[in-house]
Amino acid sequence: MNGEDEQFAVSSGETLMETLRGAGYYGVKNGCDEGVCGACNVILGDEGVTRSCLVPAASCDGAEVMTVEGLADDDGGLHPLQSAFLEHGAAQCSYCIPGVLLASYDLLQRNDEPTESEVADGLSGNICRCTGYVQQIEAVQAAADRLSGSDASSEGSG
Amino acid sequence: MPRSDTGDPETAAKSTSEARGDDAPVGESVEKVDGWGLVTGKARYTDDVPTDDALAAKVLRSPHAHARVRSIDTEAAETIAGVKAVLTHEDVPEDRFTRTGFPYPAPAPFDERVLNETVRFVGEPVAAVAARTAEAAAAAVDAIEVDYEPYDHVLDAHEAMGADAPTLHPEPYENPQENAAPERNVVCETRHEEGNVERGFEAADEVVEGEYETQAVHHLPMETNTTIAWVDDRRRLVLRTTTQVSHICRDKIARVFGLNRTDVRVVKPRVGGGFGVRQDTLPNQFIGAALALETGEKVRLKNDRKEDLHGAQTRHAQTVRVKTGVREDGTLTAMHVDVTSNTGAYGCHASAVLMNAAHEPLSVYPCENRLFTGRAVYTNVTPGGAMRGYGAVQGTFGIESHLDEVAAAIGMDPVELRRRNAVEEGDESFEPEYSESKRTLESVGVKECLERACETLGWADGPEEPADDRYQRGYGVALAMAKSGVPSSEFSRCNITLEDDGTLTVRVGVGDTGQGSETVMGQIAASVFGLGIESVHVKADDTDATPWDNGAYASSTTYISGNATEKAARDLAAKVRDLAAEWRGVAPDDVELADGEVRFPDGESMALERFASEAFQGIHGPKRRLTGTGKHHTALSPKPFAAQLAAVEVDTETGEFEVRRLVNAVDCGRAINPAGARGQVIGGAVMGLGQTVSEDLPLDDRGAPEFRGLRDYEVMHAPELPDIDTELVETDEPTGPFGAKSVGEVSILGPPAAIANAIHDAVGVRATELPITPETVWTALQEDRDR
């Protein structure tokens, strides 16, 4: 879990979402319970972004799982994506935000300089009802610039 | 004159700052006060607390659109291990009420109970269970046996008024609305005329008529409605719940269950969106409370997504008929708008939404003769409720679509027609007859919005046509107006404490569901002292901690709660000056507060931090802790405006169309937080786009939902977005906090008509029904070809 070893007792039929929320990973949100909204996204090993409401917890034995709680550093210092979301007004009610951040993180792992439409495609599995997505796309691109060092103004931050 | 924030932002910001004497975070896009938690997963929403000790609750819902519950047998359910309570209509208070989230008594009929003996829509709660486990609760719900006496049902508002239609509410109820005729399913009927429209039509060169239909859609906040209810150690009922109106929710729950207001507490943690569905006290909240009172235990009730989509309130489906007289020179001589609104099973927002449907969009055109007729009608569908735009989405779609037909009738450019007729400063808004609001408008930036949007889109040049003439492009326009609270209804009070470290604790009951109202209140308070936003803590999440505030609806917060917060801050600032003056033996008026400092006439100054610390320690006299209070209530409701332009491309072979660009120019007065305001504008516009092109909640003939869940509810996703331009055309509203009006709703109003008008501009097809589908466009294109 987010780079640490953790063990959870899992009852039969329990989803990964339920297990994680039950263990206090409340950043995993239950937005629809039917695999549509992306609010429960986690990054599951090599499979990348995964809807945890569709995954049986029992199938995750030994898996590496990353939740939004794993994005910030140990002192609460924000990941550039998180900073950019705040700076761009991309977080309104933010119930979708953990899932959006993880989808964005996953995208940037694969593509460190995504175009606007590549970011939009990267967020196609997330529903945000507040922002209209525009600020989120801007934030992801700004974070990409910061992470790749092409944004000189952000030196020393993040 | 309207001021532009993009012309010279520094000058604009400076002039406000000088005028108010503040060095302000107002006008700056400061980060949200709750931002860190929102992006780290640390923010706690209703369900983000351990609830191992809570009973699981589940609701049994009606399979019938209209039926009487002849009898319910709960015995089998009650004997299931772990079941703690089974409630039916026999176990809940008999008095009827309205769930409507306005202050008591609310402009709505008292026509429902916590659980009703007669059910009036598929999915209406019939019984509720609390059990030790979710499995036991589910088994108990399955074990309840209900004997229904099915009644005839009616789904269509026009049919519901017919002689053959079943009557949904035959028994008299309290608080009937204007001209109620429940025997004909009419919740209310209204007529409001200014001038004389018949004379106006006679004076016209052309008279144009049209009819427009809008659909029910759902708010779809990403967090479903959830309640955790318990009885605390002082035997008070506590609700931790998804609400945007915590104080009204508390009042409503207390009244329904016959409790003292002080014996109910509502905790509103972070809330995952609202958009109006959380303005009402929802069945979920009443049922959760009833189960907690019944069992004395903690109860958790979370709607699943389909329950939320189908069982919580929707936007009202409406039919909008418009008739307009116009002279060849473009002068509008008369407008008559007639609205039939489908309010569904209960009258919640029937009346107020109906009023809004015509009063807001008609206010944009102060022609001499205006008539509004309308009625809201009961049917056997999910109740209509409050939703962002609140009637004006429907009315604006009708009126703004229709105005393009009016322009065509006299051969005038649609923008030119609007330019000639749109409201200006000093004009009067078309207020409901009961409104006490001063009608004369002081800040009106709609024409500036129109010019700016036209310039951005390149309206005068028209769209560039693609090479292949299979594809046709068009531009469309719509104007819109909203409000800043319900006149004479809103009330907010704010308390601010100067802590001994020089920071401020702001207690105000705003209903932040993500829009950033806690941040805006923080900015307002900080600005009065010249402090940074980091020096302010805003406490807004608990009715025990905050004085009464109506909460978040009707775009009221920035204007109403913002004024209360500014007054509280100024009250506190005056007390700081008084005390500082006392210490130094100078006149209070000679003490200045700026940049977080107390400044004395001799040129000396002390940081507010030191001042507060010395006051607290009593270094110059008795120990002092300073607080300021402010309250705001008003008959005024200044209007925000928008001009929204759409560019579309239509495939003439298939009828498919793409919205390529949406330009939103919005006058929200001064933007307290420009990034937040921009977010409201874009979010509203994209929600309006969804209503225009895809969102729908189809029911079958029996009134049952034809959608399985979220997978069948087509909202906008990121890849479907058009290019979106957003411009804040700032005006200075003299009665607003720091010149602000509101911004939460106005931008959802224009897209439906702007897009319909753009499609018409592209291919000559007039879409009169929402959502606009490729089938509609294709069918009309075929008819044109066959003609």
**Rounded Cα distance, B188 and B373, in Å:** 11
Average pLDDT over residues B431-453: 90
Cβ-Cβ contacts under 8 Å, A119 against chain B:
718
Cβ separation of A96 and B42 shorter than 8 Å?
no
Collect all residues with Cβ–Cβ distance below 8 Å to A115 and sequence separation of at least 6.
none
Q: Report yes or no on A53 lying in a domain.
A: yes
Cβ separation of A78 and B36 shorter than 8 Å?
yes
Least CA distance to A136: which residue of chain B?
A: B718
Cβ-Cβ contacts under 8 Å, B679 against chain A:
89, 92, 130-132, 135
Query: Closest to A94 (Cβ–Cβ): which among B38, B47, B687?
Result: B38
Q: Report yes or no on A116 lying in a domain.
A: yes
Residues A84 and A148 in one domain: yes
Query: What is the per-residue pLDDT for B432?
Result: 86
Digit-coded pLDDT (tens) for B609-659: 999 999 999 999 999 999 999 999 999 999 999 999 999 999 999 999 999
Cβ-Cβ contacts under 8 Å, A34 against chain B:
305, 709-711
Please give the DSSP secondary-structure letter assigned to residue B747: G
**Predicted structure pTM score:** 0.96
Cβ-Cβ contacts under 8 Å, A52 against chain B:
none
Question: For residues B121 and B344, is the Cβ–Cβ distance under 8 A?
Answer: yes
Digit-coded pLDDT (tens) for B321-350: 999 999 999 999 999 999 999 999 999 999
Cβ-Cβ contacts under 8 Å, B721 against chain A:
120, 132-134
Residues A141 and A95 in one domain: yes
- Compare B479 and B5 and report the one with higher pLDDT: B479
Question: Distance between terminal CA atoms of chain A?
Answer: 22
Question: For residues B10 and B724, is the Cβ–Cβ distance under 8 A?
Answer: no
Q: Report yes or no on A11 lying in a domain.
A: no
Cβ separation of B219 and A36 shorter than 8 Å?
no
3-state secondary structure B646-707: EEEEEECCCCCEEEEEEEEEEECECCCCHHHHHHHHHHHHHHHHHHHHCCCCCECCCCCECC
Of B328, B330, B318, B402, which Cα lies nearest the Cα of B362?
B402
Collect all residues with Cβ–Cβ distance below 8 Å to B619 and sequence separation of at least 6.
none
Q: Report yes or no on A134 lying in a domain.
A: yes
Query: What is the per-residue pLDDT for B16?
Result: 40
Residues A88 and A141 in one domain: yes
Least CA distance to B307: which residue of chain A?
A: A32
- Compare A153 and B125 and report the one with higher pLDDT: B125
When pLDDT is cut at 50, 70 and 90, the band that residue A154 belongs to is very low
Digit-coded pLDDT (tens) for B7-57: 333 333 333 433 444 445 999 999 999 999 999 999 999 999 999 999 999
Query: What is the per-residue pLDDT for B2?
Result: 39
Query: What is the per-residue pLDDT for B440?
Result: 86
Collect all residues with Cβ–Cβ distance below 8 Å to B220 and sequence separation of at least 6.
A127, A129, B273, B275, B308, B309, B710, B713, B715
Q: Report yes or no on A24 lying in a domain.
A: yes
Average pLDDT over residues B121-136: 98
Query: What is the per-residue pLDDT for B21?
Result: 41
Cβ separation of A127 and B717 shorter than 8 Å?
yes
Average pLDDT over residues A95-100: 98
Average pLDDT over residues B465-484: 97
Cβ separation of A95 and B675 shorter than 8 Å?
no
Average pLDDT over residues A125-143: 98
Domain count, chain A: 2
**Rounded Cα distance, B343 and B376, in Å:** 6
Q: What is the CATH number of the domain that holds A30?
A: 3.10.20.30
Task: Look at residue B89 and tell me whether its pLDDT is greater than 80.
Answer: yes
Residues A34 and A93 in one domain: no
Residue B245 vs residues A49, A80, A112, B163, B241: alpha-carbon distances, Å: 36, 34, 43, 39, 10
Cβ separation of A129 and B273 shorter than 8 Å?
yes
Residues A88 and A147 in one domain: yes
Query: What is the per-residue pLDDT for B389?
Result: 98
Cβ-Cβ contacts under 8 Å, B307 against chain A:
none
CA atoms within a 13 Å half-sphere pointing along the CA-CB vector of B745: 32
Helix (H, G, I), strand (E, B) or coil at B443: coil
Least CA distance to B722: which residue of chain A?
A: A134
Query: What is the per-residue pLDDT for B240?
Result: 98
Task: Look at residue B417 and tell me whether its pLDDT is greater than 90.
Answer: yes
Least CA distance to A100: which residue of chain B?
A: B39
Query: What is the per-residue pLDDT for A92?
Result: 98
Domain range enclosing A41: 16-70
Question: Which tokens hold the place of B107?
Answer: 């402009």
3-state secondary structure B567-587: HHHHHHHHHHHHHHHHHHCCC
Residues A118 and A63 in one domain: no
Digit-coded pLDDT (tens) for B375-389: 999 999 999 999 999
Task: Look at residue B393 and tell me whether its pLDDT is greater than 50.
Answer: yes
**Rounded Cα distance, B703 and B715, in Å:** 22
Mean model confidence pLDDT for chain B: 95
Cβ-Cβ contacts under 8 Å, B47 against chain A:
30
Residue of A94, A121, A136 for testing the chain B interface, max B β-carbons within 10 Å: A94
Residues A57 and A101 in one domain: no
Domain end point (choices A32, A52, A70): A70
Cβ separation of B223 and A31 shorter than 8 Å?
yes
Which domains does chain B show, CATH number per domain? 55-151+220-310 (3.90.1170.50), 154-219+313-421 (3.30.365.10), 443-474+639-786 (3.30.365.10), 491-633 (3.30.365.10)
Cβ separation of B721 and A24 shorter than 8 Å?
no
**Rounded Cα distance, B240 and B238, in Å:** 7
When pLDDT is cut at 50, 70 and 90, the band that residue B437 belongs to is confident
Name residue, tokens 């937005």: A31
Task: Look at residue A147 and tell me whether its pLDDT is greater than 60.
Answer: yes
Average pLDDT over residues B238-262: 98
Shortest distance, CA A149 to any CA of chain B (angstroms): 22
Residues A93 and A122 in one domain: yes
Residues A26 and A55 in one domain: yes
Q: What is the CATH number of the domain that holds A84?
A: 1.10.150.120
Quick one: CA dihedral B766, B770, B771, B776, positive or negative? negative
Residues A47 and A100 in one domain: no
Cβ separation of B711 and A36 shorter than 8 Å?
yes
Cβ separation of A133 and B44 shorter than 8 Å?
no
Cβ-Cβ contacts under 8 Å, B678 against chain A:
89, 135
Digit-coded pLDDT (tens) for A45-59: 999 999 999 999 999
Query: What is the per-residue pLDDT for B756?
Result: 98
**Rounded Cα distance, B374 and B361, in Å:** 14
Task: Look at residue B365 and tell me whether its pLDDT is greater than 50.
Answer: yes
Task: Look at residue B6 and tell me whether its pLDDT is greater than 50.
Answer: no
Average pLDDT over residues B235-263: 98
A15 φ/ψ angles, rounded to the nearest 5 degrees: -85, 160
Residues A92 and A147 in one domain: yes
When pLDDT is cut at 50, 70 and 90, the band that residue B209 belongs to is very high
Residues A84 and A132 in one domain: yes
Rounded to the nearest 10 degrees, what angle do helices A80-87 and A97-110 cross at? 120
Query: Closest to A92 (Cβ–Cβ): which among B679, B719, B721?
Result: B679
Residue of B222, B517, B523, B686 for testing the chain A interface, max A β-carbons within 10 Å: B222
Q: Report yes or no on A6 lying in a domain.
A: no
Query: Closest to B305 (Cβ–Cβ): which among A28, A33, A135?
Result: A33
ipTM confidence: 0.96
Query: What is the per-residue pLDDT for B20?
Result: 43
Residue B667 vs residues B98, B338, B753: alpha-carbon distances, Å: 34, 28, 19
Four-CA torsion B230, B231, B232, B238, nearest 10 degrees? 60
CB-based burial, A11-26: b 16+ in 10 Å, e otherwise: eeeebbbbbbbbeebb
Q: Report yes or no on A8 lying in a domain.
A: no
**Rounded Cα distance, B168 and B603, in Å:** 74
Average pLDDT over residues B710-715: 96
Cβ separation of B686 and A133 shorter than 8 Å?
yes
Shortest distance, CA A1 to any CA of chain B (angstroms): 15
- What is the bridge-based pairing of β-strands B299-302 and B55-61? parallel
When pLDDT is cut at 50, 70 and 90, the band that residue B581 belongs to is very high
Task: Look at residue A152 and tell me whether its pLDDT is greater than 70.
Answer: no
Digit-coded pLDDT (tens) for A60-72: 999 999 999 999 9
Helix (H, G, I), strand (E, B) or coil at B598: strand
Domain end point (choices A26, A50, A70): A70
Average pLDDT over residues B97-126: 97
Q: Is B305 exposed, middle or buried (0-12, 13-18, 19+ CB in 10 A)?
A: buried
Q: Report yes or no on A5 lying in a domain.
A: no
**Rounded Cα distance, B73 and B148, in Å:** 12
